[in-house]
């Protein structure tokens, strides 16, 4: 079974019940709602539609709401600006007026305070480069370095500049409230810069009564600098290579990705590699060979999940993209992985019990692992250690936990009520796996459960052979 999970961004190309069903059949595990473009009415319609199609397909699918975050953008322009190297552009804030031929307002008033002469400004996903010449009276004068056409509401990146934006905007807070209302499973925090940003989102979710998990998106140099602190408080980390590739030197990007994936696996935090993975397939039926190699590298590093963005939200070949992810993942997983889990930090009796179970499963070539979990933690501990070949079948009585386990590496979760008799739970799990054809007679099952001794329960590892 494929262990690397697939995240699909939904949009006009894929939000119909038929397309949702096709994506699930092709191998999608998580659906992403991009709040940079998604209105609330659409969110309220698409979430129950996803849940309904998943039930029909008998599939376990999670939903991620990705906040827009505190992005710096240009304002509206009456006509686009055709810029050439050497041209002068002024960015204005706080209602300032410019006498320059080329000028545009910016939505972030603090830009004038954060930026300095000599800083590089990258506009429209890095397509237009500028250099700050001077700033005065809420106007920032820049020299254009690369040719390009500047349209309305274009994104601005400031490599190496620490901006004093809040972790969540007023729009983000409204979006999060709708996500909580609709019971989404994960919230992605865009432009997360330090651990306090994650803590601010967690406080907001707690205030709203949500138990959703938080995905910290690493998108700029400041976040890279403090990534270990961010990993320590986030539930999941995303290597968001779109903005990250603009904010950091491009030759550093593969190294940054590898370090983040390795750091997450080391401490047992799920990690997603995202953006531009099959970008050419937005318009083309086949990917480039370089894209296939990029996808293969993320799978070889044993990231928990790989993500599609425009490829599935607006692209012409969304189902093909998922199928290609699936094919590449299955093949690369058979060839082995980077082995970052060998450096995993194992602390406490529960994690050490799980480590013993994984070692046992690794010693049998066709073993499967069965984990009983109330809150999902035992299943995460197993995924943390990246079993060599055994899939991890997790059982929980909590549908919320089951959905959240759609993301971690190699975990396949289903809902099952628990008896007070652990032996009965094992029997029912075994029967459920046999019924679905997930195990066969003679398979070795490594079971992580508890045993009863009088009025006491003890965690245990059992080796069972399917009858």
Q: Which of 74, 275, 373, 449 is an active site residue?
A: 275
Active site includes 449?
Answer: no
Ordered DSSP codes for 294-326: HHHHHHHTT-SEEEESHHHHT-S-HHHHHHHHH
Residue 440 tokens read as 């066969």
Contacts of residue 108, Cβ cutoff 8 Å, sequence gap at least 6: 70, 72, 93, 163, 165
User: In this structure, are residues 168 and 70 in contact, taking their beta carbons and an 8 Å threshold?
Assistant: yes
Active site includes 92?
Answer: no
User: In this structure, are residues 30 and 309 in contact, taking their beta carbons and an 8 Å threshold?
Assistant: no
User: In this structure, are residues 351 and 378 in contact, taking their beta carbons and an 8 Å threshold?
Assistant: no
Exposure b/e, 303-327, CB count within 10 A at least 16 = b: bbbbbbbbbbbbbebbbbbbbbbbe
Helix (H) or strand (E) holding 189: strand 186-192
What's 10-59 look like in SS3? CCCCCCCHHHHHHHHHHCCCEEEEECCCCCHHHHHHHHHHHHHHHHHHCC
Distance from C-alpha of 297 to C-alpha of 160, rounded to nearest angstrom: 27
Helix (H) or strand (E) holding 358: helix 348-362
Distance from C-alpha of 158 to C-alpha of 231, rounded to nearest angstrom: 23
**In residues, how long is the chain?**
467
DSSP 402: H
Residue 19 tokens read as 């397309």
Residue 384 tokens read as 């943390």
Q: Which of 2, 5, 32, 386 is an active site residue?
A: 32
Please report where in the chains the tokens 């989102």 appear, as a residue. Answer: 201
User: In this structure, are residues 300 and 332 in contact, taking their beta carbons and an 8 Å threshold?
Assistant: yes
Sheet containing 392-396: give its strands across: 411-415, 392-396, 368-372, 444-453, 456-465
Residues noted as catalytic = 32, 73, 217, 275
């Amino acid at each position: 079974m494929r262990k690397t999970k697939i995240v699909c961004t939904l949009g006009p190309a894929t939000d119909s019940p038929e397309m949702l069903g096709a994506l699930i059949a092709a191998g999608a595990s998580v659906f992403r709602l991009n709040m940079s473009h998604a209105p609330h009415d659409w969110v309220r319609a698409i979430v129950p539609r996803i849940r309904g199609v998943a039930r029909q397909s008998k599939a376990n699918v999670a939903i991620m709401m990705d906040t827009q975050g505190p992005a710096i953008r240009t304002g509206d322009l009456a006509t686009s600006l055709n810029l050439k190297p050497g041209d002068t552009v002024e960015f204005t804030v706080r209602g300032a007026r410019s006498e320059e031929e080329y000028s545009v307002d910016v939505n972030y008033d603090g830009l004038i305070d954060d930026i300095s002469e000599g800083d590089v400004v990258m506009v429209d996903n890095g397509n237009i480069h500028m250099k700050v010449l001077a700033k005065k009276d809420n106007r920032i004068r820049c020299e254009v370095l690369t040719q390009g056409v500047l349209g309305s509401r274009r994104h601005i990146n400031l490599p190496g500049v620490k901006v004093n934006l809040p972790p969540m905007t007023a729009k983000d807070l409204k979006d999060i409230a709708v996500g909580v209302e609709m019971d989404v499973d994960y919230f992605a925090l865009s432009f997360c810069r330090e651990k306090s940003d994650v803590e601010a989102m967690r406080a907001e979710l707690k205030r709203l009564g949500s138990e959703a998990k938080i995905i910290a998106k690493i998108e700029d140099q400041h976040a890279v600098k403090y990534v270990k602190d961010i990993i320590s408080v986030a539930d999941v980390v995303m290597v968001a290579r779109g903005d990250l590739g603009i904010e950091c030197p491009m030759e550093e990007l593969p190294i940054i990705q590898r370090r983040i994936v390795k750091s997450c696996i080391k401490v047992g935090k799920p990690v997603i590699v995202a953006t531009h993975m099959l970008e050419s397939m937005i318009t083309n039926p086949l990917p480039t060979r370089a894209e296939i190699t990029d996808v293969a590298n993320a799978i070889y590093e044993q990231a928990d999940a790989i993500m599609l963005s425009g490829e599935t939200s607006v692209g012409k070949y969304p189902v093909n993209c998922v199928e290609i992810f699936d094919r590449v993942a299955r093949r690369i997983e058979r060839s082995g992985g980077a082995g970052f889990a060998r450096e995993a930090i194992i602390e406490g009796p529960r994690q050490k019990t799980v480590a013993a179970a994984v070692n046992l499963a690794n010693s049998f070539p066709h073993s499967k692992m069965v984990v009983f979990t109330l809150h999902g933690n035992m299943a995460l501990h197993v995924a943390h250690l990246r079993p060599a070949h055994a899939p991890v079948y997790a059982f929980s009585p909590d549908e919320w936990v089951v959905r959240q386990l759609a993301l971690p590496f190699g975990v396949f979760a289903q809902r099952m009520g628990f008896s007070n008799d652990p032996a009965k739970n094992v029997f029912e799990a075994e029967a459920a796996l046999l019924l679905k054809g997930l195990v066969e007679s003679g398979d070795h099952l490594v079971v992580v459960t508890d045993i009863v001794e009088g009025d006491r329960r003890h965690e245990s590892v059992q080796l069972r052979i399917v009858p």
